Structure 1
Amino acid sequence: MAWYISPLVFLFLIFRSYNGSNDFLKIQMSGSAQGTTWHITYYAKDSIVRKIQVDSILTRIDSSLSIYKPFSLISRFNASKKGIAIDEHFAAVVSKSIEAWQQSEGLFDITVQPLVQAWGFSAKPVKKYPDSAKVHALLQCIGTDKIKLEGNRLIKTKSCITIDVDGIAQGYSVDVVADFLEQQHITDYIVEIGGEIRVKGRKKPGGEKMSIGIEAPGDYGFEAPVIQKIITINEGAVTTSGNYRKFHESNGEKFSHTIDTRTGYPTRNNLISVTVFAKDAITADAYDNVLMTMGLEKALIFTEQREDLAAYFIYKTPGGAIADTASSRFYGLFVRGEEKGEK
Structure 2
Amino acid sequence: MKVVQRVLFFLALLLFTACKKEIKKQDYVLKGGVFGTTYKITYLNASKNYQKSLDSLFLIINNSVSTYIPTSDISKVNKGEENIIIDDIFAEVFKKSKKIHKETNGFFDPTVGNLVNAYGFGPKKEKVNLTNQEIDSSMQFVGLDKVVLKNGAIVKENPQVYLDFNSIAKGFGIDIVSRFFDAKQINSYLIEIGGEIRAKGLKNNSEPWVIKLVNPVKADDNDGFKVINLSDKSMATSGNYRKFRITEDGKKYVHTINPKTGLATESNLLSASVIAASDCADVDAYATAFMAMGLEKTKEFLEKHPEIKVILIYADTDGSLLEFSTY
Which TM class, normalised by the smaller chain length? 0.7 to 0.9
User: Offset of 1:24 from its aligned partner?
Assistant: 5.5
Give the TM-score normalised by structure 1. Answer: 0.83
- Distance (whole Å) between structure 1 residues aligned to residue 313 and residue 304 of structure 2: 20
Question: Which one is further off, 242-251 or 226-235?
Answer: 226-235
**Normalized per residue, which structure has more helix?**
2
- Distance (whole Å) between structure 1 residues aligned to residue 220 and residue 161 of structure 2: 39
Q: 1:167 to 1:83 in 2, by over 3 A?
A: farther
Residue identity opposite 2:263 in structure 1: Y
Q: Which residue of 2 aligns with 1:337?
A: none
After superposition, the CA RMSD in angstroms is 1.9
Q: Which residue of 1 aligns with 2:188?
A: 188
Q: 1:217 to 1:294 in 2, by over 3 A?
A: closer
Is contact 1:82-1:158 (8 Å) kept?
no
Q: Which residue of 1 aligns with 2:235?
A: 238
Is contact 1:197-1:281 (8 Å) kept?
yes
Is contact 1:217-1:224 (8 Å) kept?
no
Is contact 1:98-1:144 (8 Å) kept?
yes
Residue identity opposite 2:146 in structure 1: K
Q: Which residue of 1 aligns with 2:214?
A: 215
Mark the structure with the bigger radius of gyration.
Answer: 2
Is contact 2:118-2:127 (8 Å) kept?
no
Q: Which residue of 2 aligns with 1:44?
A: 45
Unaligned runs of 5+ in 1: 1-22, 331-343
Matches within 5 A, 1:160-175: 160-175=160-175
Q: Which residue of 2 aligns with 1:115?
A: 115
Instruction: Report percent identity of matched pairs.
Output: 34
Is contact 2:208-2:229 (8 Å) kept?
yes
Cα deviation, 1:237-292, whole Å, max 9, x if unaligned, reads: 11111001111223223232111111111143211111111222001100000111
Q: Which residue of 2 aligns with 1:260?
A: 258
Cα deviation, 1:110-144, whole Å, max 9, x if unaligned, reads: 11111112222223333541111111111111110
SS of aligned partner of 1:114: helix
SS of aligned partner of 2:107: coil
SS of aligned partner of 2:32: strand
Larger RCO of the pair (alpha carbons < 8 Å, separation 6+) = 1
Q: Which residue of 1 aligns with 2:297?
A: 298
Q: Which residue of 1 aligns with 2:156?
A: 156
**Normalized per residue, which structure has more strand?**
1
Is contact 1:81-1:160 (8 Å) kept?
no
Is contact 1:24-1:45 (8 Å) kept?
yes
Matches within 5 A, 1:8-27: 25-27=26-28
Q: Which residue of 2 aligns with 1:5?
A: none
- Distance (whole Å) between structure 1 residues aligned to residue 305 and residue 57 of structure 2: 32
- Distance (whole Å) between structure 1 residues aligned to residue 269 and residue 306 of structure 2: 22
Structure 1 residue ranges, 4+ long, deviating more than 4 angstroms after superposition: 222-227
Is contact 1:274-1:312 (8 Å) kept?
yes
Q: 1:190 to 1:128 in 2, by over 3 A?
A: closer
- Distance (whole Å) between structure 1 residues aligned to residue 193 and residue 266 of structure 2: 28
- Distance (whole Å) between structure 2 residues aligned to residue 30 and residue 227 of structure 1: 21
